[in-house]
Structure 1
Amino acid sequence: MSDILVDNKDGVAVVTLSRPASRNAVTYAMWRQLADLFRAFDGDPSVRSIILTGAGNDFSAGADILEFDAVRGDLEDSKAYEVAVDAAGDAIYQVSKPTIAALRGYCLGGAAHLAMSCDFRIAESRAIFGIPAARLSIVYGISATRKLYSLVGATEAKRILFSAKRFDAGKALDIGFIDEIAEDALSAAHDRAAELAENAPLTIAGAKFILNGCARGALDHAAADRLIDEASASHDYIEGRQAFKDKRSPRFLGQ
């Protein structure tokens, strides 16, 4: 059975971390698979929005520390491991489709990086968050730390990273780490994903590219202009205008 399950229905792809016996701890192989998977979503027109979640009672307890002796035992292995982690997070962050993390139970360490890489984070009230890098003598990676800073600001990011303490969903909502608490996070994520899947893919892709660039302080203006021009010259722009005139819902194709 695969450690990562994918189900695509009605334009919504659900990606499930599936190692419930290990609280969905992410292995080195899974980091690499996640990167490949989300890169592939970019070119798949059948996928309009994406949900990332975990099997069983948890999103994920983070990286599988039990395999560190084998896959992250020395400096060179650690560098390669961090490259794989960042590749997975950045593939999620950069995919042109809207992404939603549905969080229950543990969301710790590297799993927090996965959640922060999504556009939205919906958590159940009993979800538990934390980044225990300071208990392992690991410096949380640049890409992940930048995302944390962008969400919660410098002071809260320092508190989370320096203390290694866990915090609950209420605190996560207060500081901006998550954006919604729901009784059933996966159901709420499905509702939002379905709603977003109906909107113009070119608009979402362009807005996401510009907003992510602004958040990172490194917006590629030429690339942004190309996305703006592509939307203005698209079939979907014609369709959107005609649907407005006809007083009906538009049928966007992403082209």
Structure 2
Amino acid sequence: MEEQQSTPPTLHVEDAIATIRLNRPAQANRIEPEDQQTLIEHCQLLAKSPRVRAVILTGTGKHFSAGADLTTLLESTEESPGTELVVNPFAAMVSAVEHLPQPVICALNGGIYGGATDLALACDLRLGTPAVKMFMPAARLGLHYYLDGMRRYVSRLGFNTAKRLFLFAENLDAEQMLATGFIDRIVPADQLQDAAREAALTAASMAPLAVQGMKAALNDLAQERLDPQKFALRESQCLRSDDIREGVKAWKEKRTPLFEGR
């Protein structure tokens, strides 16, 4: 049997859709330190791209991701024992995904564990197969989760569900993940990638200034960090844009609008 290739996350762009793929199937797509930096670099590239209007995040093989490699995190703390505060570098990678201006669709092709659960929560839409399941083992491992991740859990899933997952390490199957809001829809495995692309194409067809402005506002509202002045500027930019004129004109003419993001 041919050995599966193990690489950092890959990035593929086709038309207005970008796909980021976790690509270490032999390790259940465990996210290594170099993977974290690669994913941040992919996000930096996409954030500057006027061409890309939606992003799909998925994994290779039967798992979405087993989360972070905690061995390297422990090694980094041992190298600087005199430092009072330790920064978990995984947090910066997840924040890079959350802060992408484009809508991000997470196609959960399999099991999702540990820090990878937060990576999925940083996305804007989560689709999962009937076999998907999740587990947050932080307390069992002695790990205190980082602040932004706990905020995402509370804002996306609610206070009580976050407590169940962090303090009692409950395992959730696909139906339970759907009930808690961890996934938005269950999709047959053979239709997952098509469903993710369909959602991405829908998002890409919207007015990018409006979509990106509202995404930023919704994320800020969820974490109680909304700047009213920035919000007002984004709203005003859309009201003065060519896109809103095109949108209203297309609506009246009963045709598909052609948005240019300006």
Band of TM-score, shorter chain = over 0.9
Q: Are residues 1:236 and 2:236 paired?
A: no
- Matched residue, 1:146: 151
Q: How does 1:92-103 map to 2 (within 5 A)?
A: 92-103=97-108
- Matched residue, 1:43: 48
Using the TM superposition, give the Cα deviation of residue 236 of structure 1 relative to its aligned residue in structure 2, in angstroms: 1.2
Deviations 1:14-37 (A, max 9, x none): 100100110100011211222222
User: 107, 114, 119: which is aligned to 1:109?
Assistant: 114
User: 174, 196, 208: which is aligned to 2:215?
Assistant: 208
SS in 1 for 2:13: strand
SS in 2 for 1:140: coil
Q: Are residues 1:123 and 2:131 paired?
A: no
Distance 1:46 1:2, change over 3 A: farther
Distance 1:72 1:52, change over 3 A: farther
Distance 1:167 1:123 in 2: 12
TM-score normalised by L of structure 1: 0.93
Q: How many residues align?
A: 253
- Matched residue, 1:4: 9
Unpaired stretches in structure 1, ≥5 consecutive residues: none
Distance 1:78 1:190 in 2: 41
Q: Are residues 1:159 and 2:158 paired?
A: no
Deviations 1:166-211 (A, max 9, x none): 2111111111111111113222111111111111001111111221
Do the aligned partners of 2:21 and 2:57 also contact (CA within 8 Å) in 1?
Answer: yes
**Percent identity of equivalent pairs:** 33
The structure in which a higher percent of residues are helix is 1
Using the TM superposition, give the Cα deviation of residue 73 of structure 1 relative to its aligned residue in structure 2, in angstroms: 3.9
Using the TM superposition, give the Cα deviation of residue 66 of structure 1 relative to its aligned residue in structure 2, in angstroms: 4.6
Letter in 2 for 1:105: G
Using the TM superposition, give the Cα deviation of residue 10 of structure 1 relative to its aligned residue in structure 2, in angstroms: 2.0
Do the aligned partners of 1:32 and 1:87 also contact (CA within 8 Å) in 2?
Answer: no
Do the aligned partners of 2:43 and 2:97 also contact (CA within 8 Å) in 1?
Answer: yes
Letter in 2 for 1:206: G
User: 29, 34, 42: which is aligned to 1:29?
Assistant: 34
Mean Cα deviation higher: 62-71 or 141-150: 62-71
Q: CA RMSD in A?
A: 1.8
- Matched residue, 1:173: 178
- Matched residue, 1:227: 234
SS in 2 for 1:14: strand
Distance 1:232 1:97, change over 3 A: same
- Matched residue, 1:17: 22
TM-score normalised by L of structure 2: 0.91
Using the TM superposition, give the Cα deviation of residue 104 of structure 1 relative to its aligned residue in structure 2, in angstroms: 2.2
Distance 1:68 1:50 in 2: 28
Distance 1:78 1:64, change over 3 A: farther
Using the TM superposition, give the Cα deviation of residue 67 of structure 1 relative to its aligned residue in structure 2, in angstroms: 3.7
Letter in 2 for 1:111: A
Do the aligned partners of 1:25 and 1:64 also contact (CA within 8 Å) in 2?
Answer: yes
Distance 1:248 1:199 in 2: 13
SS in 1 for 2:158: helix
